[in-house]
Amino acid sequence: MTLNKILSGIWAAIKKLFQKIPSDLKTAIHIGVVITENIKNFVESPAADMITLLIPGDIDDALKAWLRKRLPAILAQLKLTEIHEGDDQILKNAIENIQILNGDAKNAFLHNIAVLIGQAASYGKLSWTDGVYFTEWYYNKVYKETLNKNTN
């Protein structure tokens, strides 16, 4: 059996599990991926409120307010910033530090951010272990494929 067949079987199993989880957890995983992609693609902006640029506008206002409070804390928890005051300054410093990273180190931090945001967006219902698997699967098999379809 080839590695591709083994990985295809694993992806198929995760897809079946993903289809069975509650919709609020699916939404939380989606939010984690989207915000992390916004961080990854963020280019310096003169905007005063960086958090508004990173959090998608189509999510519930209460959840958006919750994430506005949690995102700087998540980045600080991952030690991506030395700054501890001012949400925009924390985000700016964390993004600068992410930009310095490359390769697997950068991918590892972005993956961790996506999982932690997914946990925050699920109000703690998403476990770390489930978040790791589902976020990775969602990013590769739903988010990226949707982007590829939209750009072609």
Q: What is the pLDDT of residues 46-67, one digit of tens each?
A: 444 566 667 777 777 787 788 8
Nearest residue to 80 (alpha-carbon basis) of 65, 64, 99: 99
Separation of CA 34 from chain center: 6
Residue 96: the pLDDT is 86
Residue 47: the pLDDT is 47
Nearest residue to 40 (alpha-carbon basis) of 144, 146, 128: 144
Q: Is it the case that residue 146 has pLDDT exceeding 50?
A: yes
Taking a C-beta distance cutoff of 8 angstroms, is the pair 137, 14 a contact? yes
Q: Is it the case that residue 77 has pLDDT exceeding 50?
A: yes
Q: Domain count for the chain, please give it.
A: 1
Percent of the chain whose predicted confidence (pLDDT) is above 70: 91
pTM: predicted TM-score of the whole model, two decimal places: 0.73
* Structural domain contains residue 110: yes
* Structural domain contains residue 14: no
> How many other C-beta atoms can be found within 10 angstroms of the C-beta atom of residue 86?
11
Residue 1: the pLDDT is 67
* Structural domain contains residue 117: yes
* Structural domain contains residue 8: no
* Structural domain contains residue 4: no
Dist. CA 119–CA 50, nearest whole Å? 21
Phi/psi at 55 (5° precision): -90, 125
Residue 134: the pLDDT is 92
Dist. CA 98–CA 80, nearest whole Å? 7
pLDDT tens column, 94-144: 888 888 888 899 889 889 999 999 998 898 899 999 999 999 999 998 888
* Structural domain contains residue 69: yes
* Structural domain contains residue 51: yes
Print the domain residue range for 59. 22-151
Instruction: Give residue for tokens 């963020």.
Output: 42
* Structural domain contains residue 92: yes
Q: Where residue 45 falls among pLDDT bands split at 50, 70, 90?
A: low
